[in-house]
Structure 1
Amino acid sequence: MTTLAAAVAARLPGRLVGSAAVALYPRFEPELRRLADFCPPGGVALDIGGWYGPWSRRLAARCERVVTVEPVPHLAEHLRRTLPSNVRVVQGAATDREGTAQLWFPEGDQGDRGVSSLARRDIHAHSVEVPSITVDGLGLTGVGFVKMDVDGGEAAALLGAAELLRRDRPALLIELESRLGPVEPVITTLTGQGYTGWVLPHRDWVPLTGFDLVAHQKRTEHLVHRGLLHRAFAPRRERYVNSVLFLPEGRTPGTA
């Protein structure tokens, strides 16, 4: 379903859409306002699935260097033009192999709605070929934080980052949505690697082990379809939680 905001955004200059995204995103993704809880200052941060750059821009103000991975060609070019100089933009889809892949879009969308995916779903109607990359192939070191928004491709993207996770043990903020596919494999994989999950349903972080993410998302999924503007300015009663913070053993949100 295309919201009015998405339809208007497709006709606006990218700079205006990007500015709106940066301004509005923290209103319905409070994790973005809580960077200090999990993202060490300085160092390197990785933004996988940059879209119009709301996360990259905030990370650039906190970290010494940011690498943003964005598969949609015109969005990657927009990010190169508009993000600060300490951000490197890589155009490609993060997965478990290097080469090319088909990136799928809904009818009438070229990536502006932020629901493109390597896995075709019923909402997708057409595709473009994009480079496929692995995080380990980027040659990064000293990574303290990774944000990942890949619409169902999390398991493959994590497999392509296996060496970085083993070596740097960064904090991870991963969008997991049961409506796009099972979330258990990712949780099980990271738990097996010594990570603990946390979510932010209200003001305080709570352990994922005591929070039924799948049931919560089923109950609040209707909020997803309201669009960016409606979700940003809706009364604060309940939010749709789809971001899970994974911290290595010994760390909790708000600790170094």
Structure 2
Amino acid sequence: DAVALDIGGWYGPWSRRLAARCSEVVTIEPVPHLAEHLRRTLPSNARVVQGAATDRAGTARLWFPEGDRGDRGVSSLDRRDIHAHCLEVPAVTVDSLGLSGVGFVKMDVDGGERAALLGAAELLRKDRPALLIELESRLGPIAPAVDLLTGQGYAGWLLAGRRWIALDGFDLVAHQARTEHLVHRGLLRRALVPHRERYINSVLFLPDGRVPGTV
């Protein structure tokens, strides 16, 4: 019966999975044509908010690579060397949406994690949801987001192979530096030529002493 929040919906793969498991899904997507696509194609229990999740309301510049309109999934509020042009989009905070009963949050915002979390401070305090956050050191420092959540009583977990391991004590930055080349191999090559180690960029944060596999 919980509500799920998908921050950075893209084409909606997570929103569709969550809609089958939750009473309601709220998807935040800044790219206008992707948000419109989600409104047309997601199940009826999904609500789409067109905007960039950050720590303040207003407008923000969303940056894209040359020739990209957001379809590649690498747009960001933080301009990097791959970005060539930008688009003004609405900036929203999660707390401004007035959500309640949120049990799960997925976040993929390419470097804007800390700002998005600050904009959801009240929801995290009130609902204490589980969070699955994509963190990549090649896009920017990951420590600010990790430290923010640790200070709020959350602990991070990584799925390494078939078992969960604690983020505390695992050098995720060094791991990603060592395995980043796997990201550029493409899905087909990764499937045809398996590697003994995989690139880990998704971190599950659970509150209040919870561990994966428990309610």
TM-score interval for Structure 1 and Structure 2 normalised by the shorter chain:
over 0.9
> How big is the alpha-carbon RMSD for the aligned residues of Structure 1 and Structure 2?
1.1
What does the per-residue CA deviation read over 1:117-142, in whole Å, with 9 as the maximum and x for residues that have no partner? 00000000011111000000011000
Which range is displaced more, 212-221 or 231-240? 231-240
1:218 matched to 2:185? The reply is no
State how far apart, in whole Å, the 1-side matches of 2:187 and 2:37 are.
Answer: 20
Unpaired segments ≥5 residues, structure 1: 1-41
CA contact (8 A) 2:129 2:206 kept: yes
What SS does the corresponding residue of 2:20 show, helix, strand or coil?
A: helix
How far has the Cα of 1:252 moved from its partner? 0.6
Identity %: 81
Cα distance change on mapping 1:210 and 1:70 into 2, 3 Å? same
How far has the Cα of 1:236 moved from its partner? 5.0
Correspondent of 1:156 among 101, 115, 128 = 115
State how far apart, in whole Å, the 2-side matches of 1:168 and 1:233 are.
Answer: 42
CA contact (8 A) 2:155 2:209 kept: no
Query: What is the identity, as a one-letter code, of the residue corresponding to 1:187?
Result: V
Cα distance change on mapping 1:232 and 1:60 into 2, 3 Å? farther
TM-score by length of 2: 0.97
Query: 1:58-69 residue pairs with structure 2 within 5 A?
Result: 58-69=17-28
State how far apart, in whole Å, the 1-side matches of 2:102 and 2:110 are.
Answer: 22
State how far apart, in whole Å, the 1-side matches of 2:108 and 2:191 are.
Answer: 19
State how far apart, in whole Å, the 1-side matches of 2:59 and 2:191 are.
Answer: 35
What SS does the corresponding residue of 2:125 show, helix, strand or coil?
A: helix
Q: Which has the higher strand share?
A: 2
What SS does the corresponding residue of 2:18 show, helix, strand or coil?
A: helix
Q: Which has the higher helix share?
A: 1
**Counterpart in the other structure of 2:102:** 143
Query: What is the identity, as a one-letter code, of the residue corresponding to 2:2?
Result: G
1:70 matched to 2:29? The reply is yes
How far has the Cα of 1:210 moved from its partner? 2.7
Query: What is the identity, as a one-letter code, of the residue corresponding to 2:127?
Result: D
How far has the Cα of 1:201 moved from its partner? 1.9
Unpaired segments ≥5 residues, structure 2: none
Cα distance change on mapping 1:52 and 1:232 into 2, 3 Å? farther
